[in-house]
Amino acid sequence: MAVSMEVLADDLAAETAVLRDVLAPLAEADWRRPTPAAGWSVTDQVSHLAYFDDVAVQAATDPDAFARTVEELVGDGVIDPDAIAARYRHLSGAQLLAWFDRSRAGLLAAFRQLDPAKRVPWFGPSMSAASSLTARIMETWAHGQDVADAFGVTREPTDRLRHVAHIGIGARAYSYQVNGKEPPTTPIRVTLNAPSGAVWTWGPEDAENTVTGPALDFCLVVTQRRHIDDVSLVVEGPVAAEWMAIAQAFAGPAGTGRKPGEFA
């Protein structure tokens, strides 16, 4: 079935609304509240999303300007999200929310018009426009989890988690590369129980290495929002266990993840 940019955009809009419901009533002091991401407040989580929404639009609509942005951000070969976050800590909560609204609306409008197969440059290999928009869904959900955790909010899981899981599985080799390891070729079967009751599968049925369990738990692990010890995934085989210990769905250097027991 062909990928629909309208469906992806609608899913991103829905995920955005969930996060915005948490952000809209915040008092100014709440924007400075620490999140589980070391050194990052709610302000940093939202500015990160808004900033890279703007950059994603630039990549899709003005590749030359995007190339200049890459040169600026990756001068020493590594993107420093902390340095980018520090640029915007002077903004008020109202200013941040307005920026996020403006950037997300611009992203949705720009990407709805694109051919899903259009190649879009990024930090590293280019990707399809559909993959780029799917990555924004993953980022919104993951950073939204940090914000929710900061306030003890439990979000209702939805089948939009399939986008997050798909990226996490696709990034298996990348997880090894950013950790300086050679990606194994051993197949892994992933079987996830979706919030709707559906069962999602990836990989050959006869694979000896397997990961099974709730889609929510898998997404929390591959976005490094929960330690593998604090979820109910069943991991069988040494290759699957090694992957789950370093799984990383997001771009950039190897993440530090969460400590065991932090969310037990």
Strands 188-193 and 124-128: unpaired
- The whole-model pTM stands at 0.96
Is 93 a member of any domain?
Answer: yes
Contact 154, 141 (CB under 8 A): no
Is residue 169 a part of any domain in this protein? yes
Q: Are residues 146 and 195 in the same domain?
A: no
Q: Give phi and psi for 68, each to the nearest 5.
A: -70, -35
Domain limits for position 203: 162-246
Considering the domain boundaries, does residue 196 fall inside one?
A: yes
pLDDT tens over the chain, length 264 residues: 568 999 999 999 999 999 999 999 999 999 999 999 999 999 999 999 999 999 999 999 999 999 999 998 887 667 889 999 999 999 999 999 999 999 999 999 999 999 999 999 998 789 999 999 999 999 999 999 999 999 999 999 999 999 999 999 999 999 999 999 999 999 999 999 999 999 999 999 999 999 999 999 999 999 999 999 999 999 999 999 999 999 999 988 889 899 999 987
Domain finish residue from 117, 137, 155: 155
CA distance 179 to 211: 21
